Amino acid sequence: MFILSAFLNFSICVTIFLVFLKYEKSFSVYSPLFAYLAFHLFVFILWPLISGAYGYSKIYDKMGISPNNSLLIRTHCATLVGLLFFTIGYYLVTAGRNWTRGSFEKKFPLDNSFSLLVIVLSLCFPLILYSIVYSVRAGHNVSFVDGKGIVEQGSGYLLDAQNMAIGMSLLLLLCRSSFKIGVSLLVVFIIGRMLQGYGRQMLLFAILVPIVFYFLRKRIRFPSTRVGLVIVLSVLLVYPAFVALGAFRDGGKVLLGLKDESSYAEFRRKDGVDYRDNQDFANFQYLTYIIDTVPDLSGDYSYGIQHLMVFLEPVPRKIWPEKPTSLVEWNLNDYGNFLGLTPSMVGDGWMSGGFIGVSVTMLIWGAFSGMIYRHWCLDNGNLLQLILYSIFITVSIIWYRDGEVTSLVKKFLILSLPVFIFVLLRCGWKLLKVDVKL
């Protein structure tokens, strides 16, 4: 029955893709629906089948559950309901829109804004560099309180400031005079992240965001078959390194020659360990735990109050040391081991109200994503908005995984901050008599 439910899930996922590809002119590889379909296909359908075929059970053992067929089928049903309502929400706000063909003719549209870019760079780069150095020295000083990771020493904002390098690099790449500076900044950021040994998602963002923006700017609705094959091969080549860095946090230092290879050799000698049986794509397993726990063990649903944390999250703990990590009365860790795990968007909806919670949550987020896509990508050709959308759609993949709106807001704002600074300076700098119209 589990295989049949997975096949049904797969069939509906593919059907949605084919229907939108044929009949919806606004549908593209940059669409939130395409991103969610890809996430759903791999995380909720293919990876559970792969895990079952290879007998991966580390995640279930860690959480302390042994799911039966009934629970697995309910989990598939929850993911399917989430997919359907996300699709409905997206369609309601994008129906009838067209994909604008043609590319932006200017190769370097910010050539007349170099002075403004220098000001933005002078404001952001010192903080980016200091954040990288600080993070390398501090290490991964995160502890868990009620299942949530908090920074033990220093400031989480300071640790995250380095991520501004991604948005800053995109601005620099749009000016001929600063193109090499933008590339250099990305390289510095990637090396810094490799030295830290954590935050692998930011390494992916540093690569994916410029690629997404490049194709988006060219208005290429779907890449050619050749480009698609190159992307698939690149993913297959990068994935082992991604897994290795997750299992061996000093892998970046060894690769850069800053740490002795003997530490990696010792790591490789661990017998009986399959590092593919890890937490990277295990959201289906996490969801089975959530469905098994809420509300049977927790006693009640959260009714969506967890989203109010988005208003408390900006307050630093130095100002409010007792700031709560959650507004929900119960904690998933009270019924097993959910430490450091993420519920996914579907799991977040389930915690809010079961199947009804999944339906409402996914409908809202599908419509919200569709509105961002329509306004920033379909309705105009503003390059700054395309930069923001490139960041948004890339960060959304982590949002689908984490399920918490605070995850989307935090990552999007920090990556986009240089763009917002540029816009504010462009609007308010009355003495700068240059044409910076995009």
pLDDT tens by residue, 286-344:
999 999 999 999 999 999 999 999 888 888 877 887 888 788 889 999 899 998 899 99
Name the pLDDT band for 127 (thresholds 50, 70, 90): very high
Q: Which of 30-34, 87-91, 267-271 has the lowest mean pLDDT?
A: 267-271
Asked whether residue 96 carries a pLDDT value surpassing 80, the answer given is: no
On the question of pLDDT at 42 being above 90, the answer is yes
Q: In the structure, what pLDDT confidence band is assigned to residue 384 with cuts at 50, 70 and 90? A: confident
| pLDDT over 70, % of the chain | 82
pLDDT of residue 432 exceeding 70, the answer is no
31, 222, 275, 337, 348 from 25: Cα distances, Å: 11, 12, 42, 45, 31
Name which of 193, 166, 119, 219 is nearest 391 in CA terms: 166
In the predicted model, is pLDDT for residue 88 greater than 50?
A: yes
Write the pLDDT tens digit of every residue in 236-293: 777 766 666 666 555 555 555 555 554 444 444 454 455 667 787 889 999 999 999 9
Least confidently predicted of 59-73, 96-110, 326-340: 96-110
pLDDT the model gives residue 146: 65
> 145: pLDDT confidence band, cut at 50, 70 and 90?
low
pLDDT of residue 279: 80
pLDDT value at residue 105 = 46
Please answer whether residues 120 and 425 qualify as being in contact, where contact means their C-beta atoms are separated by less than 8 angstroms.
yes
User: Is 231's pLDDT higher than 50?
Assistant: yes
Cα 241 vs. chain centroid, distance in angstroms? 18
- Segment 211-224 mean pLDDT: 85
Q: Residue 428: which pLDDT band, with cuts at 50, 70 and 90?
A: confident
Among 20-29, 30-39, 326-335, name the most confident range.
30-39
Per the prediction, the chain carries an average pLDDT of 84
Instruction: Give the pLDDT confidence score for residue 249 in this predicted structure.
Output: 58
What does the domain layout of the chain look like in residue ranges?
Answer: 1-103+280-379, 109-273
Weakest mean pLDDT among 116-120, 380-384, 403-407: 380-384
Q: Which residue has the higher pLDDT, 164 or 95?
A: 164
